[in-house]
Structure 1
Amino acid sequence: MAAVKRIYSFGGGKAEGNRDMKDLLGGKGAGVAEMSNIGLLVPPGFTITTDVCVAFYKGGKKLPKDVLPGVEAALRKVEALTGKGFGSADDPLLVSVRSGARVSMPGMMDTVLNLGLNDRTVVGLAKRSQNERFAWDSYRRFCAMFGDVVLGMKPERKEDRDPFEVILERKKRAHGAKLDAELPVSALKELVVEFKAEVKRRKGIDFPDDPMQQLVAGIEAVFRSWDNERAIAYRRLNAIPAEWGTAVTVQAMVFGNMGEDSGTGVAFTRNPADGRNEFYGEFLVNAQGEDVVAGIRTPQKISELAARFPEIARQLEDARAKLERHYRDMQDIEFTIERGRLYLLQTRSGKRTGLAAVRIAVEMADARLISREEAVLRVDPAALNHLLRPIFDDAARLRAVDEGRLLARGLPAGPGAAAGRVVFFAEDAEAWKARGEQVVLARHETSPEDIRGMNAAQGFLTAFGGMTSHAALVARQMGKVAIVGCEALSFDYHARTMTVATARGPKVLREGDWISIDGTAGEVIEGSLATTPSEVMQVLIEKTREPSSAPVYQQFAKLLGWADRARRLKVRANADQPDQATVSVAFGAQGIGLCRTEHMFFGEGKIGPMREMIVAETLAERRAALAKLLPLQREDFAGIFRAMGGRPVTIRTIDPPLHEFLPQDPDGITELARATGKSEVHVRARIDELHEANPMLGHRGCRLGISYPEITEMQARAIFEAACEVAAEGLEVQPEVMIPLVGAKKELEHQAARVRAVAEAVFAERGARVRYTVGTMIEVPRGAVCAGPIAEVADFFSFGTNDLTQTTFGISRDDVGTVLQSYLENGIYEVDPFVTIDREGVGELMRLAVERGRRTKPNLKIGICGEHGGDPSSVEFCHQLGLDYVSCSPYRLPIARLAAAQAALREQAAAHPVKPARPAKANGRGGEKARATNRALAVPGVKPAKEPRKKRTRARPQARA
């Protein structure tokens, strides 16, 4: 049996891997392999596969014995291509050791640079480069990075800085240097000695001197970083399976810190913040790549590169065009300039804001660089939320400026508006959010360890770093508001203060003070600023802007229009009031999938009659109270029917236990007693009588309707009277009455009979009829198992996946902060089952209900109305089950529409796989077409060559409606 290949080499214009091998080589390994294959200058190296990572963890976090000989053999290839020797005292080969998961996890795992240096090889590096300062600068960097990543030299307290940074800052003060690059060689040599001494003091071990020992330890450390705290948190936030593992790429070092003719940078082939077709990025002269990403120096804009390195700028523009044309997507590029020579270190699909994602996808499709179907697949559905986020009100902003509350400006890294109490540590951001506070996380610079706090914050603010720093990358991915490189800020972490250097003198802000940050303008404002709806909201909901004057809305609408043509699933909204129904229609709802009637009882003037009904001692008293509720409910239903304009409206009869409607406070009890003419003793006794040890499993849903059929009858009358009233106005109505919590056929028979009897009575009274249906929610396991008999009575099913998840797992949503959080942290559950449908358990019950329900009634309409209906993964599962619609909150409708389209397109692709076409070459057949495409990609404003439009086909909806 042939041995499994575990190491793939690249360099010298060829590679053993390619871009289609991300699962095995990780994103970085696949990217450098592909760049090698297409002729770009990439430092040679090799990638150790994700399979080795899996074996590493199975083997007790040690490299499998058969890997080391392969590493040594691959290292010989790199030596041959570079002409250098690993560990050589004359011309040493230094390497970087980097992680690379299947999907980008920026900064979450570890990297080691300049590996291979010791007291002998540093002398050889200095001699060969004829630059002693560069050699010792690389050595001190290696000691600090290896000490941190491999030896675990972390700060002892969260208020403390990195121990190596403390030593470095002390050295800079001693030499009067502001920047690292200003330190003399003698100081760098001292730093190496002091760094190693700190390792010995803290860890009790000597700094390793043998390059091969360093390499093995570095590879193992990068594999271990797959399971560090920040990587685990990131995977949980982004639903990345733990079993995937990471690849490790070992690559020959090229050096951007060799002097003024060297540098390093990160660039995007398009603007990742707003999607404009412009080369966008940053670079630093005489620096290494980590300096840009870590944000310890604020870099120069990529547009300034031509003034410093004109030939390099031209080469980089060529690489930009070539990579975007090759990948047909916006790319994130890392590069190094070593003594006037350009090397590309990485390419990957660039992280982008939702605004940028929509614009890039739409513009590429309009230019016929990708198909409309590809454009739909390119945008993460959740990213559409970015386009709906509020912005600061212009009047409020101008007033704040006039009042002198504009504190500082920085780089706008994450668009939108955010206000919150300022905190300085990630742990505090989490804790403050848990107690209901809105916070803004402010730091010198963020690091991957801050990921959970960044997720908890409304936005973040850093003093250092540029548009490609860690904070900026995470902001774009999370859709957070962010300002970076705000140099007016300084911090005292021990005092928990932030000082802003303003024109009027220093302004000190303390932990808990309110600040507002504008991630579009890059402005930091003291206090909490009023917001206004986004451009999309101003068109759709506020009706204050014309679509023609709103380019963001136009792209948003165009993408969703393409999505609507591709999807099979219908989308409905969960809406309980007429105004919510109006918003739902604006967002594209094709009906209401869940109208929760109990929410209506909490409206003004309605809770009193509801409470009277609950404390009633006789049927007559209960009917009298219900008679007061009838016109109120009828008015609400009529308003919803009008707003929905003939679309179907699914109305759920009362669901919660009655005690939830009763007051618990003394004043409320006194008021209820006065309003009903009963004693406070009687009211308290009724409250105690209705109290349930476990209301989730108690007297609620259809059980209430069976105990008190007059409640169901009142609600049915309100529904049908409202329907007849609106129908008489010439409007179509489609009421669907849904009975909750059904687990037995007889429960539904009992309630459906009451509903149908009332319907006939109302129709007789009004002399008119409307079409209606009666169905049920499948939200207890027995309802799913017994779906066949229940379908004999039901006209439709709707999965109430919130309750179905609770009853299947035996975990209440109220346990999220205790049981569920513990399970997620320990990896027992990979994702929160209340966010994404648990396909193995809850999903199998759903599948069973669909199969059994449609075996009884083949055309049974089935949907979902739990909040899972707005989760992209859950929407895809609903598509796979063959459901007819998903229903979610109004503001998640765009997500559901796009996710439903993507599910349909992926299904088509799986059924009819098509090998993607390679870009045409720039000469020979197809050359003119390729050149036209190249011009359109590389030069903003150039129109693509006209080509015959190909006929497109799209999925037709299935016959079942």
Structure 2
Amino acid sequence: MGKKLIYYFSQSKCDGNAEMKNLLGSKGANLAEMCNIGIPVPSGFTLCTQVCKMYYNNDKLPDNLCGEIKNFMAILEEDAGCKFGDPNHPLLVSVRSGSIDSMPGMLDTILNVGLNDETVIGLAKKSNERFAYDSYCRFITMYSNVVLQLNHYLFQDILDSARCKNNVESLVDLDVSTLKQIINDFKNIVYENTGKHFPQNINEQLLSSITAVFSSWKNERAVSYRRIHNISEDLGTAVNIQTMVFGNLNNNSATGVIFTRNPSTGEKKCFGEFLLNAQGEDIVSGFYTPLPINNNTMGKLMPEVYEELYIICKKLEEYYKEMQDIEFTVQDGKLWILQTRSGKRTPEANIRIVVDMVNEKMITKNNGILKVDPNTLNSLLHPIFDIQCDKQVIGVGLPASPGIASGYVVFNTYNAEKAVKQGKQVILVRSETSPEDINGMNIASGIMTARGGMTSHAAVVTRGMGKPCICSVNGLHIDKNEGFFVLGEVKINKDDPITINGNTGEVILGILPTILPELSQEFETIMQWVDEIKTIKVLANADTPKDVEIAKKFGAEGIGLCRTEHMFFAHDRINLIQKLIIADSQDERVNALEELEKMQKSDFKEIFSMMVDKEITVRLLDPPLHEFLPNNKQSIKKVANLLGRSIEDIRSKVEQLSEQNPMLGHRGCRIAISYPEIYRMQIRAILSTVYDLRNEKNIVVKPEIMIPFVISEKELILICEMAREEARNFNNVQYSIGTMIELPRAALIADKLAKHAEFFSFGTNDLTQTTMGLSRDDSVSFLDTYKQAGIFENDPFVVLDVEGVGELMKIAVTKGRKSCPELKIGICGEHGADPKSIGFFINLGLQYVSCSAYRVPIAKLVAAHIALNQGHSKFSELTTN
């Protein structure tokens, strides 16, 4: 066959190891590694990821693969002491996926492969009859769903009917005769829906199961998951064929999942759940409520297994130097480990785990920083709901994933997508979630389920997403038509507002107010390490004193963009700028400007005082004037009454200033050319504030005045002269002046602009629009289509277009620094916090990035990651503790 495509693993023979993750997938590599270090793992073999690629390239499995599989099955039979298809001592196998990056629940698995009408009798003689037919029942359901593509509910309805008829709660409680009848009913469903009998050929079962698992790489939920988590489509999955061990053999058997630390809090304490007499799918399905793994449950029911499991947990965590998520089965008192992987955990838990592991000398600071994913910090930094306010708690469930979310109730992905498009936040309410719900879970603010434990699908996936989730809400009954749910005595309709508290499990009526989050000491510790390592400054975009306060809280090293127009938009101030715009005479304009100047000085005084010894860049007025004016009849009438002018006056001014394409219209420094008194007022407000603070409070600041939307050297010369003239009125006031590079022409004449500017700041939002000819507002309608077609890999307003926009930035940096070697250059566009773009900015030689205050820690962490990965962090001695 040429290249080796199949790798064996067992306690006595193992072809692979943990370093072969790209070939064996994460699951296969870890199974092999566990065999190498003496962990009890059922024997098996892995079809590598190359087989998956061949399958998709040729629309079939590789030639001769069937023969190779047969050879490896013979080795497996020898290890297991039983034979595949033997009617007396049948070997059963699991066929499981194994992607390189963990994708919990997204790819398919088939258990109990090798059962048919003959081997089930042999299995019954070998063990016990009830177990054998229970396993056959499970196999037909899973095979029919995954391989034959029949709806799971066709089979679930029969099970539900049987449980009701026999007055039992689960499959485990049904007797043998009932199970045999269910199997006959299942076979009839298969024949009615496919026109074929359920396959009895065990080799057909095996090959079709392998093909189905490879096919699941491109199922809808897996594609959505990869899109959400930025996992490459080209990686493919491995397939693991492994000897079955049975957690449903008897009451001395079990299945479970255990984390080596608490995935919600990070506490250094094993956390897990198990089910007696069950198989692995039962515990993750959310249909059954499992038991906690602790001394009072497993410790009493299975004391020897409990002790061995904890020893293995400690060994695996110390070996991998990472919190582990471990799947296990107990077969008649014997413990088997089926999988270990890096455990999904909340951002809060991850930060605590990293700091604890560094303190425990398990990992270095540098390793710890690299274990914190910048994308997961978002949920820690934005406002949270004030749970101290009055609230009406209507129910309680398991706090499966922490955090607090408010939103409007929806019951399925379709309604979630519809509501989010309307600008609503939603809470997705389900009986239990399944991988098919991934898109709805991704866009929902929080998830609530009627069933499922702390290791159910809903719990694991939401923790990975950093979203709140409550499972097994007591007394939650969902209407079959999904129009409402009832919780206790309260009826909640679709689109009604609720709040869920994933920290406590509480379900609360209505929307709760928000407060700023309290960041943990572990978070502060991580950010201290980051500051020691990163090599680029991270500033914040902040426009008001409140914004600056938030920026300081999140560790901003200065203000890289203070947009003065945002000071005008406050409801109690906008009439001042409106009064200026509609003024008919010089006197009216002067009066309005004086009032605006007082207001701006008040804000500057507060902002400058808060940022002593920090960089502060103030951008002069940028948007076109018409944006400050009303745009409908009712608003025009209101402004007319407020300003004592006629409705016709206001309407006339609105029409006079309206533009067909305001993005490229009368804005930025063009306003200063037409109305120099506006920029003079702003410059004067800045400089007089600096003067007053120095003389009155001995506070010394040196603001940077930024001129937007420049396309001409002459524009810059005129406004620089304007600033010098105003500065003469304030003795020895320190300031610098620079420009925003946000138009292609500005980038191309950067050498000329640098003769007059002390700094450049790239406004990549507008530079992207004007370079690519895309409106960030209107292009939303087709950007997804372009990404699907492979024209864009990413949204260019989220991830910088390095090939086009980036090339203009290179030109501007090269020309600017050639003209003025001391030129300070940074970026203040939205790309300033994008993990994929920051590396480009660092390599381009920018001295700072500036971003939203809430994204400052994210940008800092990305910068530290880049410094470590490129080997040029500030302090190389930090590579060891």
What interval of TM-score do these two structures reach, taking the shorter chain for normalisation? Answer: over 0.9
Matching of residue 127 in structure 1 with residue 125 in structure 2: yes
Q: Give me the whole-angstrom Cα distance separating, in 2, the residues matched to 1:167 and 1:418.
A: 37
Q: Give me the whole-angstrom Cα distance separating, in 2, the residues matched to 1:209 and 1:872.
A: 52
Partner amino acid, structure 1, of 2:658: H
In structure 2, the partner of 1:615 is: 582
Report the Cα offset of residue 66 of structure 1. 4.8
Partner amino acid, structure 1, of 2:632: D
Q: Give me the whole-angstrom Cα distance separating, in 2, the residues matched to 1:106 and 1:816.
A: 33
Matching of residue 669 in structure 1 with residue 636 in structure 2: yes
Matching of residue 235 in structure 1 with residue 232 in structure 2: no
**How do 1:312-461 and structure 2 match up within 5 A?**
312-388=305-381, 393=386, 395-396=388-389, 400=391, 405-461=392-448
In structure 1, the partner of 2:7 is: 8
In structure 2, the partner of 1:590 is: 557
Report the Cα offset of residue 530 of structure 1. 4.7
Partner amino acid, structure 1, of 2:699: L
Q: Give me the whole-angstrom Cα distance separating, in 2, the residues matched to 1:205 and 1:849.
A: 68
Decide whether the 8 Å contact of 1:587 with 1:894 is kept in 2. Answer: yes
Report the Cα offset of residue 250 of structure 1. 2.0
Decide whether the 8 Å contact of 1:709 with 1:754 is kept in 2. Answer: no
Partner amino acid, structure 2, of 1:579: K
SS in 1 for 2:636: helix
Partner amino acid, structure 1, of 2:76: V
In structure 2, the partner of 1:274 is: 265
In structure 2, the partner of 1:906 is: 869
The TM-score with structure 2 as length reference comes to 0.94
Decide whether the 8 Å contact of 1:612 with 1:625 is kept in 2. Answer: yes
Decide whether the 8 Å contact of 1:329 with 1:349 is kept in 2. Answer: yes
SS in 2 for 1:753: helix
Partner amino acid, structure 2, of 1:16: D
Select which of 725, 739, 742 maps to 1:761: 725
Report the Cα offset of residue 450 of structure 1. 0.9
**How do 1:88-237 and structure 2 match up within 5 A?**
88-128=86-126, 130-154=127-151, 162-237=153-228
The TM-score with structure 1 as length reference comes to 0.87
Partner amino acid, structure 1, of 2:158: I
Report the Cα offset of residue 633 of structure 1. 2.0
CA pair 790-97 structure 1, distance change in 2 beyond 3 A: farther
**Could you give the per-residue CA deviations for residues 40-82 of structure 1, whole angstroms, max 9, x where no partner exists?**
111122222223323322223x223254333333333322222
Matching of residue 741 in structure 1 with residue 700 in structure 2: no
Report the Cα offset of residue 183 of structure 1. 0.9
Decide whether the 8 Å contact of 1:420 with 1:458 is kept in 2. Answer: yes
In structure 1, the partner of 2:496 is: 513
Decide whether the 8 Å contact of 2:548 with 2:610 is kept in 1. Answer: yes
Matching of residue 834 in structure 1 with residue 797 in structure 2: yes
Q: Which moved more, 1:793-802 or 1:437-446?
A: 793-802
Q: Give me the whole-angstrom Cα distance separating, in 2, the residues matched to 1:250 and 1:808.
A: 52
Matching of residue 463 in structure 1 with residue 462 in structure 2: no
Report the Cα offset of residue 392 of structure 1. 5.7
Decide whether the 8 Å contact of 2:687 with 2:733 is kept in 1. Answer: no
**Could you give the per-residue CA deviations for residues 563-612 of structure 1, whole angstroms, max 9, x where no partner exists?**
11011111111000122112212221111111111111112443223223
Report the Cα offset of residue 817 of structure 1. 4.6
Q: Give me the whole-angstrom Cα distance separating, in 2, the residues matched to 1:66 and 1:676.
A: 85
Report the Cα offset of residue 181 of structure 1. 0.4
Partner amino acid, structure 1, of 2:49: T
Q: Which moved more, 1:306-315 or 1:836-845?
A: 836-845
Report the Cα offset of residue 426 of structure 1. 2.2
Q: Give me the whole-angstrom Cα distance separating, in 2, the residues matched to 1:533 and 1:622.
A: 40
In structure 2, the partner of 1:953 is: 877
CA pair 610-412 structure 1, distance change in 2 beyond 3 A: same
SS in 2 for 1:750: helix
**How do 1:268-307 and structure 2 match up within 5 A?**
268-303=259-294, 304-307=297-300
CA pair 206-18 structure 1, distance change in 2 beyond 3 A: same
SS in 2 for 1:107: coil
Query: What percentage of aligned pairs have identical amino acids?
Result: 48
Matching of residue 708 in structure 1 with residue 644 in structure 2: no
CA pair 512-51 structure 1, distance change in 2 beyond 3 A: same
Report the Cα offset of residue 495 of structure 1. 4.9
**How do 1:230-269 and structure 2 match up within 5 A?**
230-269=221-260
Q: Give me the whole-angstrom Cα distance separating, in 2, the residues matched to 1:823 and 1:315.
A: 53
Q: Which moved more, 1:642-651 or 1:870-879?
A: 870-879
In structure 2, the partner of 1:928 is: none
SS in 1 for 2:39: coil
SS in 2 for 1:734: coil
Q: Give me the whole-angstrom Cα distance separating, in 2, the residues matched to 1:259 and 1:522.
A: 34
Partner amino acid, structure 2, of 1:292: I
Q: Which moved more, 1:333-342 or 1:97-106?
A: 97-106
Report the Cα offset of residue 434 of structure 1. 2.1
Q: Give me the whole-angstrom Cα distance separating, in 1, the residues matched to 2:663 and 2:312.
A: 60
CA pair 367-789 structure 1, distance change in 2 beyond 3 A: same
In structure 2, the partner of 1:948 is: none
Decide whether the 8 Å contact of 1:712 with 1:751 is kept in 2. Answer: no
Q: Give me the whole-angstrom Cα distance separating, in 2, the residues matched to 1:90 and 1:847.
A: 73
Q: Give me the whole-angstrom Cα distance separating, in 2, the residues matched to 1:807 and 1:239.
A: 27
Q: Which moved more, 1:466-475 or 1:610-619?
A: 610-619
SS in 1 for 2:508: strand
CA pair 799-246 structure 1, distance change in 2 beyond 3 A: farther
Q: Give me the whole-angstrom Cα distance separating, in 2, the residues matched to 1:773 and 1:252.
A: 72
Partner amino acid, structure 1, of 2:504: A
SS in 2 for 1:603: coil
SS in 2 for 1:807: helix
Q: Give me the whole-angstrom Cα distance separating, in 2, the residues matched to 1:633 and 1:107.
A: 55
SS in 2 for 1:440: strand
State the Cα RMSD in Å: 2.5
Report the Cα offset of residue 347 of structure 1. 0.7
Count of residues paired in the alignment? 876
Select which of 849, 856, 881 maps to 1:893: 856
Unaligned stretches of 5+ residues in structure 2: none
CA pair 610-344 structure 1, distance change in 2 beyond 3 A: same
SS in 1 for 2:777: helix
Decide whether the 8 Å contact of 1:14 with 1:33 is kept in 2. Answer: no
CA pair 757-529 structure 1, distance change in 2 beyond 3 A: closer
In structure 2, the partner of 1:632 is: 599
Q: Give me the whole-angstrom Cα distance separating, in 2, the residues matched to 1:222 and 1:662.
A: 60
Partner amino acid, structure 1, of 2:508: I
Select which of 480, 485, 503 maps to 1:498: 485
In structure 1, the partner of 2:840 is: 877
Decide whether the 8 Å contact of 2:265 with 2:349 is kept in 1. Answer: yes
Decide whether the 8 Å contact of 1:365 with 1:371 is kept in 2. Answer: yes
Matching of residue 20 in structure 1 with residue 13 in structure 2: no
Q: Give me the whole-angstrom Cα distance separating, in 2, the residues matched to 1:850 and 1:69.
A: 61
CA pair 741-19 structure 1, distance change in 2 beyond 3 A: farther
Q: Give me the whole-angstrom Cα distance separating, in 2, the residues matched to 1:807 and 1:609.
A: 32
Q: Give me the whole-angstrom Cα distance separating, in 2, the residues matched to 1:608 and 1:871.
A: 36
SS in 1 for 2:877: coil
**Could you give the per-residue CA deviations for residues 765-812 of structure 1, whole angstroms, max 9, x where no partner exists?**
222221x22222222334344444443433222222222333344332
Decide whether the 8 Å contact of 2:769 with 2:775 is kept in 1. Answer: yes
In structure 2, the partner of 1:934 is: none
Q: Give me the whole-angstrom Cα distance separating, in 2, the residues matched to 1:249 and 1:848.
A: 51
Report the Cα offset of residue 85 of structure 1. 2.3
CA pair 137-752 structure 1, distance change in 2 beyond 3 A: same
Decide whether the 8 Å contact of 2:411 with 2:482 is kept in 1. Answer: no
SS in 1 for 2:234: helix
SS in 2 for 1:177: coil
Decide whether the 8 Å contact of 1:717 with 1:758 is kept in 2. Answer: no
SS in 2 for 1:113: strand
Partner amino acid, structure 1, of 2:576: P
